């Protein structure tokens, strides 16, 4: 279990560095989509790993996946 938490934490740090790199070195059209997509991947990683949603009832799993996907789509459309 500790190995899974450590690997998830390292993945979160890596995604954060990729988002920072993309925000400073990529064209403005790609920045929004990339940063929003990486933010919601990190959201799902935190929700399922650190909030223990992977052990929750399937209703909550689908609800958090749907919420993240819907908010991501809305943000990409608006921005």
**CB distance 47 to 53 below 8 Å:** yes
Give me the pLDDT at residue 8, please.
92
Give me the pLDDT at residue 26, please.
78
Walk along the chain (79 residues) in steps of 10 and give the mean pLDDT of each run: 86 92 80 84 89 88 89 82
Give me the pLDDT at residue 25, please.
80
Give me the pLDDT at residue 1, please.
63
């Amino acid at each position: 279990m500790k190995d899974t938490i450590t690997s998830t934490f390292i993945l979160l740090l890596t995604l954060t560095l990729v988002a920072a790199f993309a925000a400073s070195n990529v064209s403005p059209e790609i920045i929004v989509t990339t940063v929003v997509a990486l933010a919601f991947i990190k959201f799902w990683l935190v929700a399922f790993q650190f909030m223990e949603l992977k052990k929750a009832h399937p209703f909550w799993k689908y609800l958090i996946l749907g919420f993240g996907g819907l908010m991501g789509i809305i943000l990409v459309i608006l921005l």
